[in-house]
Amino acid sequence: MGNDRRGRSTVTVQAEAGARDGRDARAGEAREARAPGRPAEHGPEAGEARASGTPDPRVTALAAAVARLRGDLAAHPAHPSDRAPAEEALTELAAMAAAGAPDVARLHRALLVVAGAVGSVSAVAPAVAEVRDVIELFGSAPRR
């Protein structure tokens, strides 16, 4: 077993790459489902039910990413002081995914709360990045 230039074991590097590949594949599937040229705030791109009755893959990816982050956070032995707000924001994200039509501004606000609360916990950083990547598929937050 070798180490990379940062001193991480090759097993760790391979596991991180595998997690990234899975996240990239899910994000890619959701991106492909989005029609080019249409804003993400309206129509099926915003998570509304599609004419064919199939769910928006971005909503499915959001639910999976939130579940993964919740699991990673629950398994982490340390309890960040801002864990309660992060849990509340994750509950809000899960509810938006379950409803099927997330509000882009609310998605971004919840992400900011989560990232601010647990962003420095390196053990959950890949899961936070996955949630961020999926939220970005819905479009940028509207300007105030």
The tens digit of pLDDT for each residue in 2-40 reads 544 545 444 443 444 444 455 455 445 444 444 333 344
Average pLDDT, stretch 124-128? Answer: 93
Q: Work out the number of other CB atoms within 10 angstroms of the CB of residue 86.
A: 24
* Pairwise CA distance, residues 11 & 19, whole Å: 12
Mean pLDDT of 124-143: 91
Strand (E) or helix (H) holding 87: helix 83-99
| pLDDT on residue 22 | 52
Whole-number pLDDT of residue 33: 42
How much is the pLDDT for 52? 59
What phi and psi, each to the nearest 5 degrees, are found at residue 9?
-70, 155
Please report the pLDDT score of residue 11 as a whole number: 41
